[in-house]
Structure 1
Amino acid sequence: MEDQVRGKEIWKHNITEPNYGCHVVAVSCFSFFLVSKLVVFLTPLVAQTEKSSWKWKNISVSFIHSVLSSIWAFLCFYERPDMAEDLITIFTPLSHSLAAFSVGYFLYDLIELLVHQRTRQSLELIGHHVVIISCFMVAVLTRHYVGYAVVALIVEINSIFLHFRQLLQICGTSKFNPWYRLNSLINLATFIVCRILLLCWMTRWIVINKDAVPLLFYTMGSVGLAVMVGMNIILFYRLLRSDFISVKDTADSSSKKVD
């Protein structure tokens, strides 16, 4: 009973306080737009075509967001370790700003995809961004579930290596290159830990705390997790097939030719 009363008091307190979250979203979105203009000057010569240059710009911006948000997420839990014990009501200005910052990035990237990449292949990313923006905006506007949003952003640790892999591919780096192979191994390891295991933990948490989450938010969270799990299963298979299975087959066929 005391926990319920405390929860209601915190909720009322959070709602009545001024919310700067939407301002952070707007500033973040515009900042990533400016960053996208700057990274164009770093486009390698091999990516000077219209399609490749946009891809380089888009992935570079995503890479920057992954580095910043993953470090930021760890700083949030370092600042308030008890946030891991209460992912619903406990938050800090740092963690709330992180959720808003990421919404700004995903909003920027969604606009980029809709303007420059309206293809069948981009539908997965568009759907992913819509789900993430919707779920994170709940945390930004209500200042509840901020801790849960920060946990979700631990996924960005793997995204660092995932995006770096794409940048290497744009530069024409061979899959047999030692740096590419090292990144592939780290990418696979962090994918298992920061995506598969983390999503399992998040699913377990939302099921256990079902009674503490309003039906609307529970539905949004469940749908969001279902979308993320489905996308990550497909992505994991693609990574295995591209960086390990096909590479092994190529190496085997090359050795047979030598023999």
Structure 2
Amino acid sequence: MAVRAIVPANLLHWLFSVSAGIIMCRAVFGFTSAFSSSFFKGYPKLSPQEKLEWNNRGCSTFHAIVVAASSLYLLVFSDLFVDTETEMMINRTSTLSDTVLGVSIGYFLADLAQLVYHYPALGGMEYFIHHGLSVFSIVLSLLTGQAQAYTLMILLTEITTPFVNLRWYLHVAGLNNSKIYILNGVALFIGWLVARILLFVYFSFHMFVHFDQVKAVFWLCFYTLITVPLSLAVMNLVWFWKIAKGMTKTLRKARHCG
């Protein structure tokens, strides 16, 4: 069957998780604004567009920490996705994994709404592509109950988001020449290399080893597993090239000033 058996309890849980993700996004947006107004002297001086992006990045940072930590636990520290005699890894799910996927769907939907409403202030077409592919893949994995391990691997790459956002915060605050800006740039380069380049290599290797299971999933899941990660990998490589160039430029400038 394309969609696993849906009972009212499951449907209610999914709707609650997605709603929680949307509410979380809006709540963190408001909290970021209130907190920044009270504790960052430069925040009131920002333009309305900068304040909008400042608060929005607070949402993405919080979401990234929550889903990356949850994905790491489910993939590494739990035995959820260990093959058993009765059930293959590709079909394993749990209440927690469903919750993580639902919350992430809620966040991406809320952020997509922000992107559309404020376009192009919060990002260009690449963000629409990234969010659209993410929502499609996560919804498919949640409804079918298949390939959740691979979906969580993709969500684990969100761990780089706090470094990206901190780089932007420091830039807006005028701290481009500070030591923390340089250290964050190096951390971003290393984190991106590990989480968005090497992890995708492992992702591909894992799929190759478990291809007997991968090819047994619903056909739309199968082609999504083949095409969406590849598309994201290409985008990650492009961004990695930009990150590497930016870090090199910053390090050269710091060495020259030193």
**What's the TM-score, normalizing by structure 2?**
0.84
Aligned to 1:69: 67
Give yes or no for the alignment of 1:46 onto 2:50: no
Change in Cα spacing, 1:130 to 1:165, as seen in structure 2 (3 Å) is same
Aligned to 1:135: 137
Aligned to 1:166: 168
Unaligned runs of 5+ in 2: none
Partners of 1:219 and 1:119 in 2: CA distance: 33
Q: Report the CA distance between 1:163 and its aligned residue.
A: 2.0
- Name the aligned partner's letter for residue 217 of structure 1: C
Partners of 2:147 and 2:205 in 1: CA distance: 15
1:15 to 5, 18, 42: 5
- Name the aligned partner's letter for residue 27 of structure 1: A
- Name the aligned partner's letter for residue 63 of structure 2: H
Q: List structure 1 segments (4+ residues) > 4 angstroms apart after TM superposition.
A: 84-87, 251-255
- Name the aligned partner's letter for residue 30 of structure 1: I
Across the aligned residues of Structure 1 and Structure 2, the Cα RMSD in angstroms comes to 2.5
**What's the TM-score, normalizing by structure 1?**
0.83
Change in Cα spacing, 1:92 to 1:120, as seen in structure 2 (3 Å) is closer
Give yes or no for the alignment of 1:32 onto 2:35: no
Higher mean C-alpha deviation, range 74-83 or range 133-142 = 74-83
Partners of 2:183 and 2:82 in 1: CA distance: 32
Q: How does 1:163-202 map to 2 (within 5 A)?
A: 163-174=165-176, 176-202=177-203
Unaligned runs of 5+ in 1: 1-7
Aligned pairs, number: 243
Alignment check: 8 A CA contact 1:46 1:172 kept: no
Partners of 1:78 and 1:219 in 2: CA distance: 26
Partners of 1:184 and 1:39 in 2: CA distance: 23
Q: How does 1:98-247 map to 2 (within 5 A)?
A: 98-118=100-120, 121-174=123-176, 176-207=177-208, 209=211, 210-244=214-248, 246-247=249-250
Partners of 2:254 and 2:41 in 1: CA distance: 29
Q: Report the CA distance between 1:253 and its aligned residue.
A: 5.8
Aligned to 1:91: 93
Q: Report the CA distance between 1:212 and its aligned residue.
A: 1.9
Partners of 2:232 and 2:59 in 1: CA distance: 21
Q: Report the CA distance between 1:45 and its aligned residue.
A: 4.2
Partners of 2:103 and 2:6 in 1: CA distance: 22
- Name the aligned partner's letter for residue 46 of structure 1: G
Change in Cα spacing, 1:239 to 1:84, as seen in structure 2 (3 Å) is farther
Q: Report the CA distance between 1:196 and its aligned residue.
A: 0.3
Partners of 1:123 and 1:172 in 2: CA distance: 27
Q: Report the CA distance between 1:30 and its aligned residue.
A: 2.2
